[in-house]
Structure formats: C-alpha cells, structure tokens
Structure 1
Amino acid sequence: MDNIVVGMGEVLWDILPEGKKIGGAPANFAYHISQFGLDSCVVSAVGDDKLGYEILDNFDKKKLNYLIKKVPYPTGTVQVELDKTGIPCYEIKEGVAWDNIPYTSALEELAKKTRAVCFGSLAQRSIVSRETINCFLDVMPDGEGQYKIFDINLRQGFYTKDTLCNSMQRCNVLKINDEELVIVSRIFGYPDIDFQDKCWILLAKYNLKMLILTCGVNGSYVFTPGNISFVETPKVDVADTVGAGDSFTATFITGILKGKDVSEVHKHAVEVSAYVCTQKGAMPELPPYLREQLL
C-alpha cells in the first residue's frame, strides 16, 4: 500500500503582528506529518509572484514535498490579529491562488497513492478548488487503512450547508472544535442537545471511523463507535494558537497510521499541540522528545 499523506487546500502567508509566516491548515498538517518521518505532500496553488516563490522556497528549505501549481491569481494572504489570550482573528483575502487549484493528471496519480488526506471547508469556498478536492477524494482508494479527514475549519462564513454535508459524506474522520460543533448542529437542526449526543449523531449519520472534538482549555475528545477518549489540556504559556489544531491532527493521524492505540495517540497529539501553542507561528520545529515517540 502506498503511504503518502496529503494536506490539501489553502497555502498562504499569515500576516502576524511580528511579520509574515507561512500558514494554511493543509500546509501546517503536512509539515507536522513530515516531522514524524512519513511521506507527506502539500497540494495547493500559488501566484506567479514574489510571495508565491517565497512559499516554494520555504518548503524547499523545510524539505517538504508539494504539488503546487502556479496560477494567474495572487498568492493568498491572511491578516491575523491576536487577542489578549493569543487567540487569532482572521481576515482572509478572496480571489487568490488557492481558490483556483487545478485538477491535473499529476494530482490524479498522487490521489491513487494517498493513504490519508486532510482537507477543510475553507478551500471549498470556490467552485474550482471544491471540484478539485472532490475529484481527489473520489480517486483516492477506499479501505480499512485509508483516512479522509475533514478538518472542518469554519472561517468568516466561507461555508455552506451543502459543502459541509458533502464533505462529511466523503470523509471517514471528522475533526471539529466546540464552537464549530455549535454552528454545525444549528445548521443541521439539532441545536439544543448535549454536545456528546451531537457527536454521536454525526458519527452514526456519516458512518465515521472517528470524530475528534477539541474544546480549547476544556480538553479534547475522540469518539469512535462505542468509545470515548478524553484528555485534559495542559496549562502552558501561550505564544499563539495558530496551527495548534493542525499539529494535533497530524500527530493523531500519524499514530493511527502506525497502528497505535487511539487513547495513546490522543495523549501525544495533545502534548504536541500544547507545545505548538508555546511557539510563534504555525510551523515550529518539534523537539526530539516529541518527534521520537512516533518515529
């Protein structure tokens, strides 16, 4: 079986108070996957511009594999403002390169070799990238060891009920946070029931292998058929939370792909995401003690 792990969707510059840093959930995810020794690949698009070339140069220096097309649109940027607790607020520019990811023969070949892919709702705000993501998911093999992770990542109203429903039908792992769960349950018509019941409903309705629910300082849960894993969030000095959720997802899926127990990889994912919160930006290099647990 081929073992490539793909992060698919937006790649961009987060314009932070201290300067710009490469961001975008799929790129963050793929970078952290690569730190654990798996073959990863970022799928996206950049502009034929200075910001686009800087992204590719950065990925080359990180030795991060990518299938990124240059398209006639500007490279994406996001203005990030942090509140007093380090929680980011985003202003995401529209009509940018990652809204226009083309479906190519090279991308189809990659899909055939992919064991796990992580995608979100943001890159599906435009029809071009949405159709490319759907085609990729259709071509990617299905099976017991294959994972299609929908990290829902609701941003600025860039989502519709149809997009969410379609993505949940196509995925077999759903990653969602507590605020997103409230929005999704309201959209789908069951807003007033207990949060665990909401998760059980989604798990059953969409026949998911797993549902990952993160609740910030209130811990995180992993729902699998008949079981719940809960891990408390450790207290750390937060620099910012940008990319912490992506590092959680990457760590968790790496452990699952390596055959480890859900509760074990859940604890390690929490450790990694807590460390990322202590660092500036979305792609810090992990210390050896965190990497070696999954190598």
Structure 2
Amino acid sequence: MNHIVVGMGEALWDVLPEGKKIGGAPANFAYHVSQFGLESRVVSAVGEDKLGMEILENFRAKKLNCMIETVPYPTGTVQVELDAEGVPYYDIKEGVAWDNIPFTPALEGLAKQTRAVCFGSLAQRSVVSRETINRFLDTMPEGEGQYKIFDINLRQGFYTKDILCNSMQKCNILKINDEELVTVSRMFGYPGIDLQDKCWILIAKYNLKMLILTCGVNGSYVFTPGNISFVETPKVEVADTVGAGDSFTAAFVSSILKGKSVNEAHRLAVEVSAFVCTQNGAMPLLPDYLTQK
C-alpha cells in the first residue's frame, strides 16, 4: 500500500510588519506529517522570481519533499497589516503562481501513489488550480484506508457554495472550525440548530468517515458515524497560533495512518497543536515525546 501523504494548494509568503515568513497550509501540513516519519509532499507552484527561489530553498533546508512547478506568474504573497488594536488584516494577492498549479503527468503519477491528501478552499479560487485539485482527487485510488481531507480554511471572500459543496462531496474527512461551521450553515440553509446537530447533518449528507470540529479554547470534537470524541484544549503560554490547525490535522492523519484509534489520534493532535502554539512560526521542530507516540 502506498503511504505518500500530500498537502496541496497555496505556497506563499506572509509579508508582516517585521518581515516575511513562509506561509500556506499545505506546506505546514506536509512538514508536520514528515516529522511523524511518513513520506509527504507539498504540491503547489511558485513564480520565476526571487521569492519563488527562496521558497524552494527553504523547503530544501527543511528536507521537505515537494512537487512544485515554476509558472509564469508571481510567487504568492499575503500582505499582513495590523490595525490600531493590533488585529491583523490580510490582503491575499490574486493572479499568483499557486492560482495556476498545472496538472502534469508527474502529478498524475503522484496521485496514484497517494494514501492521504489535505486540500482547502483557498487554492480553489481560480479555475486552473481548482481543476488540478479535482483531477488529483479523482485520480487517487479508492478504497478503505484512503483519506481525502478537506480542511475548509475560509479566507476573505475566496469561496463559493458550489466549491464548498463539490469539495465536501469529494472528501471523506471534513475539518472545520466553529466560526466556519456557522458560515457554512447559513450558506446551506440550516442556521438555527446547535453545532453538534449541524455536524451530524454534514456527516450524513456527504457520507463522511469523520468530521473534525475545532472550537479554539472550547476544545475540539471528532465525529464519526455513531460516535463523538471530545478533547479539551490545554492551557498553554501562546507565542503565536500560526499553523497550529495544520499541525493538528497532520498529527491526526499520521496517527490514523499508523493504525491508532480515532480518540488516540485526536488526543495527540490536540497535544501537538498546543505545543505549536507555544513556539514562534508554523513549522517548529516537534519534540520526540510527541513524534514517537
């Protein structure tokens, strides 16, 4: 059985007041999967420019395997500005490299070897990358032990009901936070019921194997048909929360692929994301006591 785990979508720079940092959920996810000893890949695209070269160099330095095409568009950037209260505002530039990920023969070959893929809604804002993601999902092997994780990750206005609907039909694990669940419920026309009932509706409607609901400091849930796992969020000294959700998904998927139970995978995911919150940046080195569990 193939065991490659893929993070697919945006690769970009977050341009902050104090400088730039590599961003994008797919790289964060793939990096943390690799720390659990599984073979991972980042699939994205960068431009023929200095920023693109720096992303590739950074991934090489982290020994992060990738299938990143160079395309004739600028490398993606997100301008992050803080208002007077210190609340960040994000301006995600459009018409960039990761909007134009091509579906190549090499990518088709990777899809056939992929055991699990994590994808979001942001990289589907453009038709080119959206079609590539959909073709990749359709090319993956079907069957027990194959996982297609839709980490919904709503950003600005870069999503539509059709994109969300299609992605939920194609995935078998949905990851969503409490705020996103409220937004999705309004779009899909069942706003007046509690969060758990909304989750059961989505599981039934889209025939999901699992639904992961994260509620910040109020804990997280993993719903599987007929069962709920709940784990409280540990209280930690937070350095920043960047990439914590991606590390949660990576730890959870890695554990499931290693044969752990849903509850064991859930507990480890919470521990890992809490640790990442205590570190600066989205890709800290995880301690052995977490990766060896």
TM-score by length of 2: 0.97
- SS of equivalent residue, structure 2 residue 115: strand
Ranges of 4+ aligned residues in structure 1 off by more than 6 Å:
82-87
For residue 33 of structure 1, what is the aligned residue in structure 2?
A: 33
Is 1:163 the counterpart of 2:158? The answer is no
- SS of equivalent residue, structure 2 residue 153: coil
**How many residues matched?**
293
- SS of equivalent residue, structure 2 residue 286: coil
**Greater Cα shift, 3-12 or 235-244:** 235-244
Q: For the structure 1 residues 90 and 167, does the alpha-carbon distance in structure 2 shift closer, same or farther, using more than 3 Å as the test?
A: same
Is 1:8 the counterpart of 2:19? The answer is no
- SS of equivalent residue, structure 2 residue 182: helix
Contact 1:212–1:223 (8 Å) recurs in 2: yes
Equivalents in 1 of 2:81, 2:218: separation in Å? 23
Is 1:95 the counterpart of 2:87? The answer is no
Q: For the structure 1 residues 55 and 10, does the alpha-carbon distance in structure 2 shift closer, same or farther, using more than 3 Å as the test?
A: same
For residue 191 of structure 1, what is the aligned residue in structure 2?
A: 191
Contact 1:88–1:242 (8 Å) recurs in 2: no
Q: For the structure 1 residues 163 and 290, does the alpha-carbon distance in structure 2 shift closer, same or farther, using more than 3 Å as the test?
A: same
Equivalents in 2 of 1:25, 1:88: separation in Å? 18
- SS of equivalent residue, structure 1 residue 90: strand
- SS of equivalent residue, structure 2 residue 79: strand
Q: For the structure 1 residues 292 and 17, does the alpha-carbon distance in structure 2 shift closer, same or farther, using more than 3 Å as the test?
A: farther
1:40-95: CA deviation from partner (whole Å, max 9, x where unpaired) = 00000000100000000011111111000000111011123568999754221111
Contact 1:87–1:240 (8 Å) recurs in 2: no
Is 1:175 the counterpart of 2:181? The answer is no
Equivalents in 1 of 2:33, 2:87: separation in Å? 24
- SS of equivalent residue, structure 2 residue 192: coil
Equivalents in 1 of 2:263, 2:5: separation in Å? 22
Is 1:222 the counterpart of 2:248? The answer is no
1:140-188: CA deviation from partner (whole Å, max 9, x where unpaired) = 0111100000000000010000000000000000000000000000000
Counterpart amino acid of 1:282? Answer: A
Q: For the structure 1 residues 220 and 88, does the alpha-carbon distance in structure 2 shift closer, same or farther, using more than 3 Å as the test?
A: farther
Higher relative contact order (CA 8 A, sep 6+): 1
Q: Structure 1 residue 209: deviation in Å?
A: 0.3
Contact 1:11–1:24 (8 Å) recurs in 2: yes
Q: For the structure 1 residues 166 and 72, does the alpha-carbon distance in structure 2 shift closer, same or farther, using more than 3 Å as the test?
A: same
Is 1:262 the counterpart of 2:257? The answer is no
Q: For the structure 1 residues 114 and 83, does the alpha-carbon distance in structure 2 shift closer, same or farther, using more than 3 Å as the test?
A: farther
Is 1:143 the counterpart of 2:149? The answer is no
Give the alignment's Cα RMSD to 1 decimal.
Answer: 1.5
Counterpart amino acid of 1:194? Answer: D
Q: For the structure 1 residues 60 and 86, does the alpha-carbon distance in structure 2 shift closer, same or farther, using more than 3 Å as the test?
A: farther
Q: For the structure 1 residues 86 and 270, does the alpha-carbon distance in structure 2 shift closer, same or farther, using more than 3 Å as the test?
A: farther
Equivalents in 1 of 2:18, 2:217: separation in Å? 25
Equivalents in 1 of 2:129, 2:33: separation in Å? 23
Q: For the structure 1 residues 88 and 29, does the alpha-carbon distance in structure 2 shift closer, same or farther, using more than 3 Å as the test?
A: farther
Unaligned runs of 5+ residues in structure 1 are: none
